């Protein structure tokens, strides 16, 4: 992860809210705020009562906006029982808050309500959210983007991309099963024998592996493919068949690299044959920072089995199927093509719980044993995930997108 400033990032010494607790001064408890998410269709909440209880027991003040957890089935009463105060609105929530935990990136107008020197932690979707980043920079707000948490072993407990991809992969498999006109398991009944359905999973990262495991549990025959050869072992360990291609496109940090034109052609050939024999295809293929690779061409869809279903988890980044439209369900050649958005939000109880635990682990790096916010962001996880601080965009790729690279 490229960082513009030096790895040790000093916290603004003039911050009156973020009292570092120097000798002789009374230490203020850290005030942690949890808003009600405002993005359309977002049912998750950034913290849950179980985590709030841990934070309040550690001496922090937690404020939760009224009905913040209502859509994920954590009512205000549960937060109150866990030691939180309920804020009737945004102004009460944010006044004097040191840290704001969120799921979706804040809007510009939400950012403008924050205290100067406040710290925001959540998904920031930096490349698609530049106006908000500029506003945070100009207002002296600090933001940590969970997408930027490095995928090292020590950061696994804070890896919100993984926890939410797990939820997404599960929902994709359920959605596939629910949209398919067939049973998934093999059945031997008095009314005859039913052959099991075939599920094909393209992209066997975190979401893909969960989709494989869930489809297997539902009794389907599962095949999977990924450009990273290392994924083969994981696929096989779940009892699915791994489709081998003479390509190993493992790039930096364990992620996939883009394929060459020749490799793409070989891939197309093999994937098309597998798609044609599947009842449900779940696609999850992604390359960080790029449009999703097209794995299923229009012509291939027309070769699919009648009633087959495509669940395109890459819909929001362009889709792995040429016919996918994000947020829509289409019917072409008798095939259903679903381009779902925000799948984790469809299991908001557990996806919020997992996300809240990711944030709890992240806060343990940011708040020291004395209950104060650390005065220097020296930990490599904090350094890598820091997006904006002290009026500077600290994440190099985002900075490059802004003002031609000027801070």
Binding positions for ligand NAD, rule: CB under 6 A: 151, 156, 159, 161-162, 165, 202-208, 225-228, 231, 254-256, 259, 284-288, 293, 295
Q: How far is the CB of 153 from ligand NAD (least distance, A)?
A: 6
| 344 to 90, 265, 373: CA distances (angstroms) | 25, 33, 30
Options 98, 104, 137, 159, the catalytic residue: 159
Catalytic-residue membership of 379? no
Compare residues 53 and 297 and give the one whose CB is closer to ligand NAD: 297
Q: How many CA atoms lie within 13 A of 391 on its CB side?
A: 2
Residue 24 CB coordination number (10 Å): 5
Options 109, 156, 237, 302, the catalytic residue: 156
Separation CA 128–CA 331 (nearest Å): 30
Catalytic-residue membership of 74? no
Compare residues 105 and 205 and give the one whose CB is closer to ligand NAD: 205
Q: How far is the CB of 281 from ligand NAD (least distance, A)?
A: 12
Catalytic-residue membership of 225? no
Q: How far is the CB of 340 from ligand NAD (least distance, A)?
A: 15
Separation CA 93–CA 35 (nearest Å): 7
Options 72, 98, 162, 360, the catalytic residue: 162
Relative to beta strand 280-283, strand 309-312 is parallel
Q: How far is the CB of 300 from ligand NAD (least distance, A)?
A: 14
Compare residues 161 and 335 and give the one whose CB is closer to ligand NAD: 161
Options 19, 92, 217, 255, the catalytic residue: 255
Q: Please work out, in degrees rounded to the nearest 5, the angle formed at the alpha carbon of residue 10 by the alpha carbons of 370 and 150.
A: 85
196 backbone dihedrals φ, ψ, rounded to 5°:
-70, 150
Position with the least CB separation from ligand NAD: 205
Instruction: Kindly state the greatest CA–CA separation across the chain.
Output: 82
Q: How far is the CB of 136 from ligand NAD (least distance, A)?
A: 25
3-class secondary structure, 65: strand
| 142 to 131, 208, 358, 388, 393: CA distances (angstroms) | 15, 33, 19, 5, 9
Options 53, 58, 76, 151, the catalytic residue: 151
- Radius of gyration over every alpha carbon of the chain, rounded to an integer in angstroms: 23
Q: How far is the CB of 257 from ligand NAD (least distance, A)?
A: 8
Catalytic-residue membership of 162? yes
Q: How many CA atoms lie within 13 A of 16 on its CB side?
A: 4
Compare residues 132 and 227 and give the one whose CB is closer to ligand NAD: 227
Compare residues 31 and 286 and give the one whose CB is closer to ligand NAD: 286
Compare residues 175 and 294 and give the one whose CB is closer to ligand NAD: 294
Catalytic-residue membership of 137? no
The catalytic residue positions are 151, 156, 159, 162, 255
């Amino acid at each position: 992860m490229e960082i513009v400033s030096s790895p040790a990032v000093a916290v603004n010494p003039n911050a009156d809210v973020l009292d570092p607790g120097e000798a002789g001064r009374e230490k203020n408890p850290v005030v942690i705020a949890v808003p009600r998410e405002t993005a359309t269709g977002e049912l998750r909440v950034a913290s849950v009562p179980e985590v709030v209880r841990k934070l309040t027991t550690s001496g922090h003040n937690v404020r939760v906006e009224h009905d913040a957890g209502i859509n994920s089935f954590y009512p205000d009463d549960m937060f109150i029982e866990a030691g939180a105060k309920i804020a009737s609105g945004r102004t009460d929530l944010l006044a004097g808050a040191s840290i704001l935990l969120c799921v979706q990136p804040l809007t510009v107008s939400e950012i403008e309500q924050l205290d100067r020197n406040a710290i925001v932690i959540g998904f920031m979707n930096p490349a698609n959210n530049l106006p908000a980043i500029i506003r945070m920079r100009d207002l002296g707000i600090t933001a940590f983007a969970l997408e930027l948490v490095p995928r090292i072993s020590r950061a696994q407990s804070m890896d919100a991309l993984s926890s939410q991809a797990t939820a997404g992969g599960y929902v994709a498999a359920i959605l596939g099963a629910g949209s398919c006109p067939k049973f998934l398991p093999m059945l031997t009944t008095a009314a005859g024998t039913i052959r099991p359905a075939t599920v094909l999973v393209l992209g066997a990262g975190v979401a893909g592996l969960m989709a494989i495991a869930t489809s297997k549990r539902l009794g389907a025959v599962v095949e999977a493919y990924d450009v990273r050869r290392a994924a083969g072992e994981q696929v096989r360990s779940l009892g699915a068949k791994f489709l081998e291609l003479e390509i190993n496109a493992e790039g930096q940090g364990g992620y996939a690299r883009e394929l060459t034109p020749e490799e793409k052609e070989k891939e197309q050939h093999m994937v098309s044959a597998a798609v044609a024999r599947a009842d449900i295809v779940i696609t999850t293929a992604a390359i960080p920072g790029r449009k999703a690779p097209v794995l299923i061409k229009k012509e291939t869809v027309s070769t699919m089995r009648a009633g087959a279903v495509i669940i395109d988890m890459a819909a929001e980044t362009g889709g792995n199927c040429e016919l996918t439209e994000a947020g829509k369900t289409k019917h072409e050649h008798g095939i259903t093509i679903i381009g779902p958005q925000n799948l984790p939000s469809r299991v908001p109880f557990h996806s919020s719980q997992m996300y809240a635990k990711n944030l709890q682990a992240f806060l343990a790096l940011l708040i020291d044993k004395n209950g104060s916010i650390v005065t220097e962001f020296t930990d490599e996880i904090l350094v890598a995930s820091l997006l904006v601080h002290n009026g500077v965009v600290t994440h190099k790729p985002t900075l490059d997108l802004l003002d031609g690279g000027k801070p």
